[in-house]
Structure 1
């Protein structure tokens, strides 16, 4: 087992695929049908890297369309790609999506960048005549109330079929690269949907009292996302604490040493000290119990908070939460503090698409560098860390009861995207997305995660736009430019999406 091996893998998306053509062409142009089927096989092979692909094959009549729709229902697909292989009447296509109501993406992908004008035959032209029926199909879908998206570009072959009269090697062209990036993002978005609809989110304890933006209706969460919320008590975790063995603690300490750097005393903050051996052993014991809890309840994510009272047993238990929850986050079980279930959803979305996802809020604004410092007192996603995260012993958790070990880290330099999962007055969930750049700005040595992010606007202008969207005060930091990916996730989940960028 490696440190980042997922405890519970994501659900693979089930992707429907079919190609379209016109039955009347096949006796007129020998070899054309087989050539178009070959293009469909290319699509199937490349898509299969990211999901389970169910390729119905060639739809060339109205009857085949009805069969295809029923077949996709039987396969329980999450998303359907309509590959426009040549001209087809829209009457062949519409029945598929009247039978199967899953989201549809039309692929307008030409096999060649330029046909051989001098030598092309009608059959050769028809092998590249893919854009022609797209307006007709779009009009039929619109009038039938079927939502759709179109991806335009090149097919991206790395060879030229034997019967072709032109160069069809296009995989390195920007039109193919862009198209396949879009295809991959849609498949990853479908992976988010399927994983969420099978997910179990643990809610341990309660929400930090008074944080009104954090409160959510569990039924509303399940109704809109499909995930189940398993309500847990501290006694559930305490039960597993009693089962922890010395050998398990020792193994967990090794895991902690692999993931983290153990700090000395903070040079600036008297409450941030080198973790004591007792604190580390306690954090390791709690971490073992946390993993047992996750496995016993088959959890995909966890949100938690418990304030404790006067040094009681559960207050001591929660003092060891941050290290173990960082270990879980690193292994595909994102953990969000303060009982923030919506941000746990955001962290899970980021993790599913492979962008990490670390729990954050506004720490302070740096008006000299024009950055906003984002972070929190943990946990942290080690997969996106700039170097090894640091463990510091905390004399107190600010605004909370107890003491323990916390994580000090920052996200690696480069493009980042913040994702805020919020809820509007009508109870609807929504995404607020921003792209920026994580910089190498100096951070405080106080045992908190912190990252300087430079957005497309001056901090004041950015905050004005951000706050106007009524976000929650927590957000998730993901690595890379993920706005396009998150827009597709929002669309498949039927969530409102706002992206803050210069072009708006």
Structure 2
């Protein structure tokens, strides 16, 4: 997936790590301590690809556990991996997490697929008995009211340490691949709450009148996600528009011509025509103003809608929104239409994870192909497009006032996952994810984004289950099968997550 250069980078998660041991062992079994420390360094190096890692080293007494908890607090970590390197008492580990409240994942990663039964010593066994203390940790944490997760599998090294009496080259074994996929998901998921807690979401205009599912309390959204919501006015954007130069417009037009295919008239829909030069120039002028707005207000995402009085200046201004908001979405500033802040959050989650996140809703069902067409009248995430998106001139925006240029595109063929952020009756956010396949089926030529998606069950069965979860009617479409990743995001955000 090729993104344009992001306007603002995603925050890297701060990942805590320590290895567990029992201090009594070190004098009894020479070399064991150093061997376990090396295993921890291997884990640290692997984790560093997904975040900034703070490795405390060995925690081998309850006093050391207290020191580790304070140390991890000082590093402001988002997630802690506790490596069960060998047996240790639960009293050693508990203080770490009573002091540092970051979520914890226990790593039960055995270095070998099979010990050398004939030649193993007690010291050799202790280097491979990481599973031994995990039930004790689980019981203790449960009784202490501290949530925990466990990843089981193989360590996945490519070299056997000289001290070892068995084979420790397990990188290609399924148990190592599976374990590291899960660890990677936890690490990547940790970037979401950190980035959201530093994000400023613009809210421009209002929410589409009557779409009651989309109305939300700004305080509730900030309380549950950490985002700041900056309320913007159309006059703020109009002020930016007045400063746009002819060179700015020319630069945007070059960007648009490089990223989009300019359509002719739709062969089927009389309101979808070849964009006029005036429409394209206006969309590019508005796009330059939109980028100025994002930079001036230091925005990380934007939700927008403005109805506008018929024939008014702001009606004309909002008519040019879709192209610029698609360009911003491709540069890491997700833009959701119709004032849907919850779907802006869903899009931002997808974008933080590097999986896209295009604004969608149910368009129509194709019972012949067994697909559900998902899309909207824009904006679109250009980075996950099947080929070049098409720009069409719209004689009118259905259900909205004004005319302008719209994006006609589909998400690339292959695995996709939709992410819906909804609000329950008790005011709690909920994530709903569903995996499917984007197909090469036909789409309408009406200037809208549309992607035929085949879910894992009949469209009617899928819709019955989806509607039962009371979703917001929009969702974000991401590429790849990301349900387990979204599930972890929900856990780290303390938000309920459901996978269909």
Report the secondary structure of 2:433's partner residue: strand
- Partner of residue 21, structure 2: 21
Report the secondary structure of 1:350's partner residue: helix
Q: CA deviation at 1:3?
A: 6.2
Give deviations 1:5-47, integer Å, cap 9, x for gaps: 1100011111110000010000111111000000000111110
The reply on whether 1:115 has 2:115 as its aligned counterpart is yes
Give deviations 1:47-104, integer Å, cap 9, x for gaps: 0111011100000001000000011111111111000000111110001011111110
Conserved 8 A contact 2:153-2:175:
yes
Q: Where does 1:22-41 land on structure 2 (aligned, <5 Å)?
A: 22-41=22-41
The reply on whether 1:54 has 2:86 as its aligned counterpart is no
Give deviations 1:321-375, integer Å, cap 9, x for gaps: 0000000000000000000000000000001111101000000011111110000
CA distance in structure 1 between the aligned counterparts of 2:463 and 2:386, rounded to whole angstroms? 25
- Partner of residue 340, structure 2: 340
Q: Where does 1:365-444 land on structure 2 (aligned, <5 Å)?
A: 365-444=365-444
- Partner of residue 201, structure 1: 201
CA distance in structure 1 between the aligned counterparts of 2:57 and 2:337, rounded to whole angstroms? 48
Q: Where does 1:96-495 land on structure 2 (aligned, <5 Å)?
A: 96-495=96-495
Q: Where does 1:2-17 land on structure 2 (aligned, <5 Å)?
A: 4-17=4-17
CA distance in structure 1 between the aligned counterparts of 2:408 and 2:216, rounded to whole angstroms? 29
Q: CA deviation at 1:119?
A: 1.4
Report the secondary structure of 1:165's partner residue: coil
Alignment RMSD (CA, Å): 0.8
Q: CA deviation at 1:115?
A: 1.1
CA distance in structure 2 between the aligned counterparts of 1:201 and 1:169, rounded to whole angstroms? 47
Structure 2 alignment gaps of length 5 or more: none
Q: CA deviation at 1:258?
A: 1.1
Q: CA deviation at 1:231?
A: 0.2
CA distance in structure 2 between the aligned counterparts of 1:366 and 1:24, rounded to whole angstroms? 67
Q: CA deviation at 1:172?
A: 1.1
CA distance in structure 2 between the aligned counterparts of 1:133 and 1:274, rounded to whole angstroms? 68
Report the secondary structure of 2:87's partner residue: coil
Report the secondary structure of 1:258's partner residue: helix
Report the secondary structure of 1:434's partner residue: strand
- Partner of residue 93, structure 1: 93
Report the secondary structure of 2:298's partner residue: coil
Q: 1:441 to 1:228 in 2, by over 3 A?
A: same
Structure 1 alignment gaps of length 5 or more: none
Conserved 8 A contact 1:3-1:255:
no
- Partner of residue 76, structure 1: 76
Q: CA deviation at 1:204?
A: 0.3
Report the secondary structure of 1:343's partner residue: helix
Report the secondary structure of 2:4's partner residue: coil
Conserved 8 A contact 2:3-2:383:
no
CA distance in structure 2 between the aligned counterparts of 1:238 and 1:162, rounded to whole angstroms? 69
Q: CA deviation at 1:496?
A: 1.3
TM-score scaled by length of structure 1? 0.98
CA distance in structure 1 between the aligned counterparts of 2:122 and 2:388, rounded to whole angstroms? 62
CA distance in structure 1 between the aligned counterparts of 2:288 and 2:254, rounded to whole angstroms? 12
Report how many aligned residue pairs link the two structures.
Answer: 499
Structure 1 segments, 4+ long, off by >4 Å, are: none
